[in-house]
Amino acid sequence: MKISSSAFANNSFIPSKYTCDGQDINPSLKIENVPAEAKSLVLIVDDPDAPMGTWVHWTVWNINPETTEILENSLPKEAVEGMTDFGKPGYGGPCPPSGTHRYFFKIYALDRILALEKGSSLEKLGEEMKDHILDKTQLIGLYQRG
């Protein structure tokens, strides 16, 4: 499986358009080589370099496994968003207090559809995903506030 973005290459800087310094919208993401037996996809975007520990920027589950692209500033049809560390569901772009941070865009292929309510926490999502991951991949973007 592979995830990429037309907005930035792996281990390169995310344009400010997709951060709190810009429009704070999600970049487009391309998904390839999903296992044929996958029933759903999960997207988790987090920052392990945050001062208080890993910061959750976006969680999305029950993405149709036939999805090949998540368009800029959009949510895949029928997908469900979870709670972020910004205290609300939806995408929250990079906004580091200082220094360069890494942002991990992780895609998981699952062997089931999740029965989770909108706004569920990353912890609940992790519990539901456990033992159902068929494959995973990630894209790393960097950001440093000017």
Q: List, as one string, the DSSP characters of 74-133.
A: ---TT-EE-B-TTSSBS------SSS-EEEEEEEEEESS-----TT--HHHHHHHHTT-E
User: How far is residue 20's CA from residue 138's CA, in Å, rounded to a whole number?
Assistant: 22
Looking at the chain, the whole-number percentage of residues with pLDDT higher than 70 is 100
Give 81-124 pLDDT, tens digit per residue.
999 999 999 999 999 999 999 999 999 999 999 999 999 999 99
Q: Tokens in use for 63?
A: 């993405």
Residues 6+ apart with CB under 8 A from 98: 145
pTM of the complete model beyond 0.85: yes
Give 16-43 pLDDT, tens digit per residue.
999 999 999 999 999 999 999 999 999 9
What structural domains and CATH numbers belong to the chain?
2-143 (3.90.280.10)
Phi then psi for residue 81, to 5 deg, are -100, 145
Give 54-74 pLDDT, tens digit per residue.
999 999 999 999 999 999 999
- How far is C-alpha 109 from the geometric centre of its chain's CA atoms? 13
Greatest Cα-to-Cα distance within the chain, rounded to the nearest angstrom: 44
